[in-house]
């Protein structure tokens, strides 16, 4: 093999990076065109060809087995008793305790443990690791746009999974989620009452069941409540979270203990119950925690004790004429009770009137204290402000109104008229100026009157069907909306709506007081105008009675005389004006023409027979 060329490089230059530099362009080869080759050129039609190279793929579907989750509860009872002692018998337990307390070992043990416990308590009291040293400083809330996020949707169809498995008709009639109630101790459970409120639309195979949902397992209701009639209202007992009370469509009252299953523990008798659906059922603040009261469109408010639910303990007829007649009573649609005002409650009626009542009044006629009228239709929601109980919210027709107990003739604030009906409303439990409303077009409105009063701060389209019910958690961050088709949507609102702003309470209080004062001034002015009008009308009536009846000829003569007096006064006024400001030639001519026209009108006025000839 012959070596043609040898490249030599120093060992130190091996691996050295290349060094590039700019240089002007130069021509290495230049081939000029050859005209003699043009004759050998062959024309050919252009041909387009496409080539695609892609890997072949296939789509497969896999349906995994459904995981069924079941919730189980454990009920802990008091233990440690001997077998011969029944813990439910109070006398046996007291006798056993006295016997043990007399034992010498018991006294020595308590003495020894007492000293140890005292040391631990003193040690804990020495330093409070949870003490907040800078509690007065307010956290600055970052400004973020108002928003709401759907965190869960509970559909009633999931509760009929067993129906689908048993090959029954899957087209179950839809029922409205008429009422929502959050668990008082934890926000993980929600009780929903389902019923169809359309008149004579209940089908024969329509279910009566209502449900308690566990939000951590929304595929299946935690408990199915089985009333004798569909539930219109349902409320947790704030003192005992295992007990619920419900108002039925047929007017009966029932209560459940979740530890005893889905059947009601006791139901009120039909003879002593309401005659119409029970739209409101609220627990009262009592020592026993077993008292509640209800309202219905039959015009009655009934008080109950679930220890004896067969008949009510007290009743009130909503007759605003204070005659106590049931045929004159107004039908109740909503009920309101504030625990901080245990003797007062309010009722919203079908006629758009809010009735304020006092439970502790001596006579039934004195229980109705005042009325507020301002809506053109039923009052679907009624709630007191949690920060200012004298201020309350009403929702009806196309508006939501804010009232003060001190002004009874009109509301102090009002929203705009919407294009669709408002169906429910509620105050925010953490902010005094924020409230929520639902509409029949499926929209949830969040109002912040401290920020904006003409339009809602946030409008959210929740669903296509009408929204029927609304309920907020105690922290004010999660709101539940029930629809006409039974779907419950849970929304988490932005922190701006559920965080108390700086100095907000003082600003809201000043706003409410200012509007209340303004309404009082307007009411006093309207009252004064009405009194003057009444006095004027009465005076005119008295004058008409004292004055003899005028003949048509006298009326005509009086009218003519008054007309001439007006013309004479006008001419005198113009003459005085001309003496002060002499007119020009054109104005003088115009004035002469007007006087001639006035004299011509005067000569054409009708008069009496003899008087016309004299004129």
314 neighbors 321 (Cβ within 8 angstroms): no
Question: What pLDDT shows up at residue 393?
Answer: 92
What is the pLDDT, as a whole number, of residue 566? 92
Residue 192 lies in a domain: yes
Is residue 133 scored above 50 in pLDDT?
Answer: yes
* pLDDT given at position 427: 92
Quote the pLDDT of residue 36: 84
Residue 85: inside a domain: no
Are the beta carbons of 313 and 304 closer than 8 angstroms? yes
User: Given a cut of 60, is residue 268 above it in pLDDT?
Assistant: yes
Q: How many domains in the chain?
A: 1
Taking 90 as the threshold, does the pLDDT of residue 179 lie above it? yes
What pLDDT does 143 receive?
63
Q: Could you tell me which residue, 469 or 199, shows the higher pLDDT?
A: 469
Residue 416 included in any domain: yes
Tokens of 474: 């105690």
Residue pair 480/492 in contact (Cβ under 8 Å)? The answer is no
* Residue 366 C-beta-side C-alpha neighbours within 13 Å: 6
Burial of 485 (0-12, 13-18, 19+ CB in 10 A): middle
Task: Please check whether residue 259 lies inside any domain of the structure.
Answer: yes
Using 50, 70 and 90 to split pLDDT, how confident is the model at 201?
low
Round to whole Å and give the CA distance between 197 and 208.
13
Give residues with Cβ within 8 angstroms of 286, minimum separation 6. Answer: none
Q: Which of 250, 268, 347 is nearest to 305 (CA)?
A: 268
| Statement: residue 166 has pLDDT above 50 | no
Task: Give the long-range contacts of residues 315-322, CB within 8 A, separation 24 or more.
Answer: 316/357, 316/364, 316/367, 316/368, 317/364, 318/347, 318/349, 318/355, 318/368, 319/368, 320/353, 320/355, 320/368, 320/371, 322/365, 322/368
Residue 89: pLDDT band (50, 70, 90) is confident
Tell me: pLDDT of 100 over 70.
Answer: yes
Segment 360-397, tens digit of pLDDT: 887 877 888 888 988 888 999 999 999 998 999 999 88
Give the Cα-Cα-Cα angle 549, 554, 555 (nearest 5 degrees): 80
Q: What are phi and psi of 604, to 5 degrees?
A: -90, 0
270 part of a folded domain: yes
For the segment 350-362, what is each residue's pLDDT rounded down to a tens digit? 989 999 988 888 7
> What is the CATH number for 241?
2.130.10.10
Q: Which of 11-20, 105-114, 392-401, 542-551 has the lowest mean pLDDT?
A: 542-551
pLDDT digits (tens, 9 = 90+) for 555-568: 888 888 899 999 99
Q: How high is the pLDDT of residue 604?
A: 46
pLDDT in tens, 420-475: 999 999 999 999 999 999 999 999 999 998 888 888 999 999 888 999 999 998 88
Q: How confident is the model at residue 585, as a pLDDT? A: 47
Name the average pLDDT for the chain.
82
Structural domain containing residue 449: 148-157+164-502
Determine what percent of the chain is predicted with pLDDT higher than 70: 87
Residue 129 domain flag: no
Measured in degrees and rounded to the nearest 5, phi and psi for residue 564 equal: -65, -35
Q: Ramachandran region of residue 80, left (φ > 0), alpha (ψ -120 to 50) or beta? A: left
Share of the chain above pLDDT 90, in %: 24
The reported pLDDT for the residue numbered 302 is 92
Is-contact 157 194, C-beta < 8 A? no
Is residue 60 one of the residues assigned to a domain? no
Position 347 pLDDT exceeds 50: yes
pLDDT band at 244 (very low <50, low <70, confident <90, very high): very high
Taking the C-alpha atoms of residue 376 and residue 502, their distance in angstroms, rounded to an integer, is 37
Asked whether residue 525 carries a pLDDT value surpassing 80, the answer given is yes
What is the three-state SS of 347-385? EEECCCEEEEEECCCCCHHHHEEEEEECCCCCEEEEEEC
Classify burial at 332, counting beta carbons within 10 Å of its beta carbon; exposed 0-12, middle 13-18, buried 19 or more: buried
Query: Is 498 a member of any domain?
Result: yes
Nearest-CA neighbor of 213 among 188, 194, 238, 236? 188
């Amino acid at each position: 093999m012959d070596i043609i060329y040898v490249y030599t490089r120093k060992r130190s230059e091996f691996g050295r990076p290349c060094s590039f530099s700019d240089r002007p362009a130069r021509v290495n080869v230049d081939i000029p065109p050859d005209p003699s080759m043009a004759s050998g050129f062959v024309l050919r039609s252009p041909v387009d060809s496409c080539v695609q190279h892609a890997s072949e793929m296939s789509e497969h579907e896999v349906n995994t087995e459904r995981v069924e989750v079941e919730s189980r509860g454990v009920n802990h009872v008091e233990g440690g008793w001997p077998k011969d002692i029944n813990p439910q018998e109070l006398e046996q337990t007291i006798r056993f305790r006295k016997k043990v307390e007399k034992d010498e070992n018991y006294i020595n043990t308590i003495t020894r443990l007492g000293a140890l416990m005292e040391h631990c308590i003193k040690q804990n009291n020495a330093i409070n690791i949870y003490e907040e040293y800078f509690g007065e400083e307010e956290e600055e809330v970052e400004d973020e746009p108002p928003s709401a996020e759907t965190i869960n949707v509970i559909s009633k169809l999931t509760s009929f999974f067993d129906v689908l498995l048993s090959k029954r008709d899957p087209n179950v009639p839809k029922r409205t989620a008429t009422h929502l109630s959050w668990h008082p101790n934890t926000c993980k459970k929600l009780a929903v009452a389902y019923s169809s409120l359309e008149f004579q639309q209940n089908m024969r195979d329509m279910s009566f069941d209502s449900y308690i949902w566990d939000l951590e397992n929304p595929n299946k209701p935690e408990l199915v409540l089985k009333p004798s009639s569909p539930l219109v209202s349902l409320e947790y007992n704030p003192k005992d979270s295992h007990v619920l009370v419900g108002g039925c469509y047929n007017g009966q009252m029932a209560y459940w203990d979740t530890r005893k299953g889905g059947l009601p523990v006791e139901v009120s008798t039909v003879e002593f119950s309401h005659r119409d659906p029970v739209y409101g059922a609220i627990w009262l603040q009592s020592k026993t925690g077993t008292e509640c009261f209800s309202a219905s469109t039959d015009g009655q408010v009934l008080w109950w004790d679930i220890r004896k639910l067969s008949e009510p303990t007290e009743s009130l007829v909503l007759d605003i004429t204070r005659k106590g007649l049931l045929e004159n009573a107004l039908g109740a649609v909503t009920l309101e009770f504030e625990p901080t005002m245990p003797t007062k409650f309010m009722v919203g009626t079908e006629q758009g009137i809010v009735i304020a009542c006092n439970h502790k009044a001596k006579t039934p006629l004195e229980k109705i204290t005042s009325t507020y009228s301002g809506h053109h239709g039923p009052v679907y929601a009624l709630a007191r402000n949690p920060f200012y109980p004298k201020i309350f919210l009403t929702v009806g027709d196309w508006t939501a109104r804010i009232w003060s107990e001190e002004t009874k003739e009109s509301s102090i604030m009002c929203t705009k008229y919407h294009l669709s009906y408002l169906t429910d409303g509620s105050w925010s439990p953490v902010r005094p100026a924020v409230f929520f409303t639902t509409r029949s077009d499926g929209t949830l409105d969040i109002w912040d009157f401290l920020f904006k009063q003409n339009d809602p701060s946030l409008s959210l389209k929740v669903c296509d069907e009408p929204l029927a019910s609304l309920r907020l958690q105690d922290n004010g961050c999660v709101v539940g909306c029930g629809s006409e088709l039974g779907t419950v949507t849970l929304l988490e609102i932005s922190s701006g709506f559920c965080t108390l702003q700086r100095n907000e309470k003082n600003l809201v209080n000043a706003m409410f007081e200012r509007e209340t004062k303004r309404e009082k001034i307007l009411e006093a002015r309207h009252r004064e105008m009405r009194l003057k009008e009444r006095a004027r009308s009465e005076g005119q009536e008295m004058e008409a009675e004292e004055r003899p009846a005028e003949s048509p000829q006298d009326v005509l003569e009086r009218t003519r005389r008054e007309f001439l007096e007006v013309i004479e006064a006008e001419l005198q006024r113009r003459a005085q004006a001309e003496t002060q400001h002499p007119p020009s030639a054109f104005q003088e001519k115009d004035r002469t023409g007007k006087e001639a026209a006035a004299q011509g009108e005067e000569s054409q006025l009708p008069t009496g027979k003899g008087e016309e000839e004299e004129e």
